Amino acid sequence: MTNLKIDYLEFQTPAMAETKDFFAKAFGWSYVEYGPAYADIQGAGTGGGFDRIEAGEPGPPLVILRADDLEAAQVRVEAAGALIVEPIFSFPGGRRFHFREPGGNVLVVWSKE
Judge whether residue 1 has pLDDT over 60: no
Express as a percent the part of the chain with pLDDT over 70.
98
Homologous superfamily of the 4-111 domain (CATH): 2,3-Dihydroxybiphenyl 1,2-Dioxygenase, domain 1 (3.10.180.10)
pLDDT attached to residue 55: 85
pLDDT mean across residues, the chain = 93
Whole-angstrom Cα distance, residue 107 to residue 97? 9
The residues, any chain, with a CB within 8 Å of residue 113's CB and separated by 6 or more, are 70, 94, 95
Condensed to tens digits (0 to 9), the pLDDT of residues 31-49 reads 999 989 999 999 998 999 9
Number of other CB atoms surrounding residue 110 within 10 Å: 20
pLDDT at 92 over 50: yes
**Residue 2's pLDDT is what?**
59
Domain boundary assignment for the chain: 4-111
- Going by C-alpha positions, the residue among 33, 85, 21, 24 that lies closest to residue 59 is 85
Instruction: Tell me what pLDDT residue 84 has.
Output: 97
